[in-house]
Structure 1
Amino acid sequence: MNKRLLIVAHAPSPNTLKLREAAERGARHPDIEAIDVTVKAPLEAGPDDIRACDAILLGTTENLGYMSGALKDFFDRSYYAVLEEKQGLPCALYIRAGHDGTGTRRAVESIVTGLSWHWVQDPLTLRGEWQDFFVDQVEELGMYMAAALDNGVI
């Protein structure tokens, strides 16, 4: 049975959509065969999606020094519903930050700590003006998550 990677990423602009697509492209790398990938916007995802996955990759914009309202809504609707049963869930995060992303990172880390999810790497913060290499970094993160899940590393 294939393991499942859930990507929940807010993509309100063409550039952030490129990031979500890059995460999916990386996760669906042709060398990674035994992983099912589900990609959802935060307002479309919920507790059932979390229950069905073996790892989760989160993506958000920095909004007024905080995570996107859409990702916060996802956590609000899902937190207590999965709190007990999904402890230890491997997770990763990328932040598209126009400034420094510190507040966004702290906010998501606080929720992830409360859920007792397990970080597979430090959050990836894509700071400042848009850079095309952000896409490569997120694609690599998606590929890493799927490959690690496929190989039983996470």
Structure 2
Amino acid sequence: MALVDAVAYATHLLFAGLWSGTVLFVTVGILPLGLRGEIRPDPFAFVVSRLSTVSRASALLLFLSGGHMAANAYTVESLTGTQRGYQVLAMVVLWFLLAGLVEAGSARMRDGLAEEKVRTPARDGKPFLYAGSVVALLLLLDAGLLASGVTF
């Protein structure tokens, strides 16, 4: 394995874990505080801002590293004609879904946080973050299956 391939693989794994973990932490650890009004607007806005930053950076780095890995490991035929290829394509779809859900949820929360509210923005972002958490878990499951060689 070339150094570039190893760096792409490591970057992909690190940022997939960071992105998924950040979404799950905000959903499970921070969002409930907002829903109960137990966090001030400024710290909540800071967390939402960091969630957006991590999501955007991770999406970009996963696109670049995943694109590199796919270009070296797959052909169009193997992506569209094998179970493993379908799992890679499913990962791409889930990746787009996660990026969209986090962006939508963060935008909804930022709007209310700009008005110094907490409960309403948390409630507005909740369905997007819950759905994003499910997608993040599906991404990790798909990645685990791909890494282990198990196809569905």
- Determine which structure has the larger helix proportion and give its number: 2
Larger C-alpha radius of gyration, 1 or 2?
2
Q: TM-score, normalised by structure 2?
A: 0.31
Q: TM-score, normalised by structure 1?
A: 0.31
